[in-house]
């Protein structure tokens, strides 16, 4: 295993290096300028130790790479305390704080001196110049927002934007509505002229003298080559220092006014920062705000008390531990495990898992200041050795293999997996975490492309080194790492046309290879048949038949009996109809011949009351006389033969 120790003083890091070497690590020591600038440079290490180096010594891309090393590559990160690290080092609200198990802000519930701070920002015309993707003023405003976010409700903050005249963007008042404060600060645009230092100091000091807080501080930010009207500035700063108001100065650029600005910081009992890269302003403002509060460092003699058990504490008797003399005050995050605690329960050693890696923080130091007695204690060397082993990246799974390469302008990622018996494991759920240049980050699941084979195609466009980590999607454990490099211009390299492959595709799909598009719309496809499945119709029919059968059984309907009843009903109706018809025909025939009805029919007719007979309740009517019988029968009609014979006789006459 390899470890990278980042510290401004190699001699100060010597005790830690010895402990790591005793634990079996190959150790490299580097300062901030020599630290890798991207994730690819960190990929060969299993552990990174960040010692006492202020955040402003790193570029934002270096801090992002350290965070990605832990979160995406499964590496280990150990943070050490000190006057120039953690919160006092300006790491609050940075990528390092995001992966740290403790927070570096000042919002903890503890007794500390209240702070009234005024931030004076130069917003003259020179601040409209670009520094990367943002202007200098935008970065300065963002730095002021970060400082406001670090303060608590018991603190007071004022933001003063100054060019030829001072403008109170945020009047000096309690820090209550941080969102509104941030909105006001970010809304300020570039002004004109240069910053008038004397007028700025008079306005800021006048506001601070009215405050009753225990600490009063002015942070002056000015262009190193455009700080004007500063004749009375040294005297103003000295009088403010005598009144308990400290002054720190941040100069942007190595201009002609840098020396005078540095002298003001010395007279004011504050700190001077010379910044060449405006992108580092947020870290500087955060560091200065934490230091001005004088609550981030607690220098007191104590022996850490064990809390949560862990591999780092195994076999160590802390009852025999010598005392530490100070530590950096931090706040444990929700999922963090606090293994050692100091006064007031503040964390001294804490760890947690973040992304695919692990991070830990030791808020005291392991050098000649707070941890001088620990450098000669055998238990401390064992503690840091076991802690480093706990945080370092796990060994890769020998049954999983990861490969990646750029081909045809894209990133092809391939993985193979075997089970415990050495057979291809197709049922693994794998995902890959890819990190690349300029903060590129992508997490995606791998798809099965064959028995035990998984693959993914990505299309990154920025040249540089890409590092990927294969992660078990069920357990979250990193399994393997790999990398590939996209050379500049490779994404624009022509790849040609595979005519043989296109011909096979056309043959398999029933198409043809054409050299021109002429006449393509005049061709018609031959008729094809389409088939519709009958399963839905048949299923619906069967369901209806089943329902009818169940209904018939429930109602006890007998089909044969129903059929016989239907036949009998039809027979009765037919017989009655025939009988009635014959009776009517006979009656008409007798009527035509003048014959009387038979006695049976007369009896039936007498039994049925006539429609003209009165009912029992109606009054009697006069009797109707019976019709007289005909004198002779009606004449019979002549036949056709008789008619023809009559006509012949007439012609002969």
| Gap between the Cα atoms of 121 and 170, Å rounded | 12
| Gap between the Cα atoms of 283 and 269, Å rounded | 21
Beta strand 347-354 with 441-445 is unpaired
Evaluate if residue 576 carries a pLDDT over 70: no
| Gap between the Cα atoms of 364 and 646, Å rounded | 154
Question: What is the pLDDT, as a whole number, of residue 348?
Answer: 93
Beta strand 47-50 with 2-6 is parallel
Q: Which residues contact 188 (CB under 8 A, 6 or more apart)?
A: 121, 123, 137, 141, 161, 169
Q: Decide which of 145 and 599 is more confident.
A: 145
The CATH number that domain 400-492 falls under is 2.60.40.1930
Question: What is the pLDDT, as a whole number, of residue 526?
Answer: 63
| Gap between the Cα atoms of 556 and 562, Å rounded | 11
Contact 461, 491 (CB under 8 A): yes
Averaged confidence pLDDT in the chain: 82
Binned at pLDDT 50, 70 and 90, residue 620 comes out as very low
Find the helix or strand (DSSP H, E) in which 388 lies: helix 378-391
Q: Which residue shows structure tokens 């979160």? A: 71
Binned at pLDDT 50, 70 and 90, residue 618 comes out as very low
Q: Decide which of 303 and 127 is more confident.
A: 303
Binned at pLDDT 50, 70 and 90, residue 489 comes out as low
pTM, rounded to two decimals = 0.63
Binned at pLDDT 50, 70 and 90, residue 112 comes out as low
Cα–Cα distances in angstroms (integers) from residue 77 to residues 27, 71, 155, 269, 354, in the given order? 14, 10, 33, 35, 10
Evaluate if residue 600 carries a pLDDT over 70: no
Choose which CATH entry (2.60.120.10, 3.40.50.410, 2.40.50.220, 3.30.465.10) describes domain 111-293. 3.40.50.410
Contact 348, 303 (CB under 8 A): no
Residue 612 gets which letter from DSSP? T
What percentage of the chain carries pLDDT values higher than 90? 16
Give the DSSP per-residue string, 396-422: PPTTEEEEEEEETTEEEEEEEEB-TTS
Q: Which of 77-86, 99-108, 548-557 has the highest mean pLDDT?
A: 77-86
Q: Tens digits of per-residue pLDDT, 415-471?
A: 998 888 888 888 888 988 888 887 788 888 998 888 888 988 888 877 878 888 888
As a whole number, mean pLDDT of residues 590-615 equals 56
Q: Decide which of 25 and 111 is more confident.
A: 25
Evaluate if residue 34 carries a pLDDT over 90: no
Evaluate if residue 278 carries a pLDDT over 70: yes
Contact 258, 276 (CB under 8 A): no
- 137 class by beta-carbon count within 10 Å (0-12 exposed, 13-18 middle, 19+ buried): buried
Least confident stretch, 17-21, 26-30, 128-132, 359-363 = 128-132
Q: Which of 104, 20, 92, 51 is nearest to 365 (CA)?
A: 51
Binned at pLDDT 50, 70 and 90, residue 339 comes out as very high
Q: Which of 407, 454, 458, 399 is nearest to 423 (CA)?
A: 399
Q: Is 1-104+296-394 CATH 3.40.50.880? A: yes
Do domains 1-104+296-394 and 400-492 share one topology? The answer is: no
- 570 class by beta-carbon count within 10 Å (0-12 exposed, 13-18 middle, 19+ buried): exposed
Question: What is the pLDDT, as a whole number, of residue 653?
Answer: 66
Q: Which residues contact 258 (CB under 8 A, 6 or more apart)?
A: 224, 251, 274
Report domain extents, the chain: 1-104+296-394, 111-293, 400-492
Other CB atoms within 10 A of residue 573 CB: 10
Q: Tens digits of per-residue pLDDT, 371-427?
A: 889 988 999 999 999 999 999 988 878 888 888 888 777 888 889 988 888 888 888
């Amino acid at each position: 295993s390899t470890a990278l120790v980042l510290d401004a003083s190699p001699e100060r890091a010597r005790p830690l290096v010895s402990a790591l070497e005793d634990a079996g690590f190959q150790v490299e020591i580097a300062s901030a300028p020599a630290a890798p600038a991207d994730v690819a440079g960190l990929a060969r290490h299993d552990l990174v130790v960040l010692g006492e180096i202020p955040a402003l010594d790193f570029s934002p891309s270096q801090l992002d790479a350290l965070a990605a090393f832990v979160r995406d590559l499964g590496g280990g990160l150990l943070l050490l305390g000190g006057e120039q690290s953690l919160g006092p080092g300006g790491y609050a609200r940075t990528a390092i704080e995001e992966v740290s198990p403790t927070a570096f802000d000042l919002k903890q519930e503890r007794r500390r001196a209240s702070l009234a701070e005024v931030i004076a920002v130069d917003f003259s015309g020179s601040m409209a110049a670009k520094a990367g993707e943002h202007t200098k003023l935008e970065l300065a405003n963002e730095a002021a927002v970060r400082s406001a976010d670090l303060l608590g409700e018991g603190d007071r903050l004022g933001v003063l934007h100054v060019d030829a005249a001072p403008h109170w963007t945020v009047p000096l008042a309690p820090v209550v509505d941080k969102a509104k404060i941030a909105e006001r600060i970010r809304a300020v645009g570039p002004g004109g002229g240069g910053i008038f230092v004397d007028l700025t100091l008079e306005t800021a000091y006048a506001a601070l003298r009215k405050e009753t807080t225990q600490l009063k501080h002015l942070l002056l930010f000015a262009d190193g080559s455009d700080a004007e009207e500063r004749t009375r500035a040294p005297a103003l700063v000295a009088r403010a220092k005598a009144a308990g108001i400290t002054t720190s100065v941040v100069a942007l650029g190595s201009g002609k006014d840098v020396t005078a600005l540095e002298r003001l910081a010395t007279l004011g009992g504050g700190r001077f920062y010379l910044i060449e890269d405006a992108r580092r302003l947020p870290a500087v403002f955060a560091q200065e705000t934490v230091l001005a509060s004088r609550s981030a460092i607690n220098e007191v003699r104590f022996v850490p008390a064990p809390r949560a058990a862990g591999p780092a504490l195994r076999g160590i008797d802390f009852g025999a531990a010598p005392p530490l003399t100070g530590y950096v005050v931090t706040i444990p995050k929700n999922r963090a495990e606090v293994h050692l605690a100091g006064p007031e329960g503040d964390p001294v050693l804490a760890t947690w898992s973040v992304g695919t890696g692990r991070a830990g923080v030791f808020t005291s130091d392991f050098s000649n200041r707070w941890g001088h007695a620990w450098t000669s204690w055998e238990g401390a060397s064992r503690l840091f050795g076991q802690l480093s082993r706990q945080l370092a990246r796990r060994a890769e799974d020998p049954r999983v293999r990861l490969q990646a390469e750029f081909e045809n302008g894209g990133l092809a990622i391939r993985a193979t997996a075997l089970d415990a018996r050495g057979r291809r494991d197709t049922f693994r759920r794998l995902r890959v975490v890819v990190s690349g240049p300029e903060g590129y980050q992508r997490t995606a699941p791998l798809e099965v492309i064959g028995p035990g084979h998984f693959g993914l195609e990505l299309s990154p466009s920025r040249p540089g080194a890409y590092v990927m980590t294969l992660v078990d999607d069920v357990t979250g454990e990193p399994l393997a790492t790999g990398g590939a490099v996209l050379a500049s211009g490779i994404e624009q390299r022509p790849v040609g046309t595979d005519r043989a492959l296109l011909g096979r595709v056309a043959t398999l799909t029933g198409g043809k290879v054409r050299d021109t598009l002429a006449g393509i719309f005049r061709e018609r496809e031959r008729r094809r048949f389409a088939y519709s499945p009958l399963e839905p119709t048949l299923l619906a029919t069967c369901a209806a038949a089943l329902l009818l059968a169940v209904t018939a059984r429930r109602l006890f309907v007998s089909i044969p009996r129903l059929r016989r009843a239907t036949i009998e009903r039809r027979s009765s109706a037919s017989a009655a109809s025939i009988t009635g018809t014959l009776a009517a025909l006979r009656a008409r025939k007798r009527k035509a011949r003048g014959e009387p009805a038979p006695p049976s029919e007369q009896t039936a007719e007498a039994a049925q009351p006539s429609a003209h007979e009165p009912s029992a309740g109606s009054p009697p009517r006069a009797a109707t006389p019976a019709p007289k019988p005909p004198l002779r029968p009606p004449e019979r009609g002549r036949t056709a033969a008789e008619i023809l014979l009559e006509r012949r006789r007439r012609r002969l006459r």
